[in-house]
C-alpha cells in the first residue's frame, strides 16, 4: 500500500487531527491544484481539478487541524466526483 493509499484510508476514517497540508497532498494526488487568488484571499482557499471541479473551503488557523464540517464536505465532494 502506497503512502497516498494510506492517506486516503486515513482521510476516510475522518480523524480529528487531519491537517491542511495532508489535505493538500490528498487533493493533489487526485489531480487538484490550489487556486491562487493573491495575497488578500484571506482564509478562504480553493482547489480546482483537471475537470474544472472546484472545492472552496476555509483554511484552518491558527492551528492547521481541519474542522469536521470541512472534512465531511471534501469527502462528500470527492465521492460525487467518483474519486472515493
Do residues 72 and 58 make contact, with C-beta atoms less than 8 angstroms apart? no
Q: What is the mean pLDDT, run by run of 10 residues, along the chain of 84 residues?
A: 93 94 94 76 83 90 91 94 91
**Read out DSSP for the chain?**
--HHHHHHHHHHT--TT-BHHHHHHHHHHTT-EE----TT-TTEEEEE-TT--EEEEEPP-SS-BPPHHHHHHHHHHHHHTT--
**What pLDDT is stored for residue 44 in this prediction?**
84
Q: So what's the pLDDT on residue 5?
A: 93
Tell me the C-alpha distance between 11 and 71, whole Å: 8
How confident is the model at residue 40, as a pLDDT? 52
pLDDT at 59: 86
**Cα distance between residue 74 and residue 27, in whole Å:** 9
Amino acid at each position: 500500500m502506497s503512502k497516498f493509499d494510506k492517506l486516503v484510508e486515513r482521510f476516510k476514517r475522518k480523524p480529528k487531527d487531519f491537517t491542511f497540508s495532508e489535505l493538500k497532498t490528498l487533493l493533489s494526488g487526485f489531480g487538484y491544484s490550489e487556486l491562487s487568488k493573491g495575497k488578500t484571499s484571506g482564509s478562504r482557499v480553493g482547489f480546482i481539478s483537471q475537470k474544472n471541479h472546484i472545492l472552496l473551503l476555509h483554511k484552518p488557523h491558527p492551528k492547521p487541524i481541519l474542522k469536521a464540517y470541512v472534512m465531511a464536505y471534501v469527502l462528500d465532494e470527492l465521492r460525487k466526483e467518483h474519486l472515493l
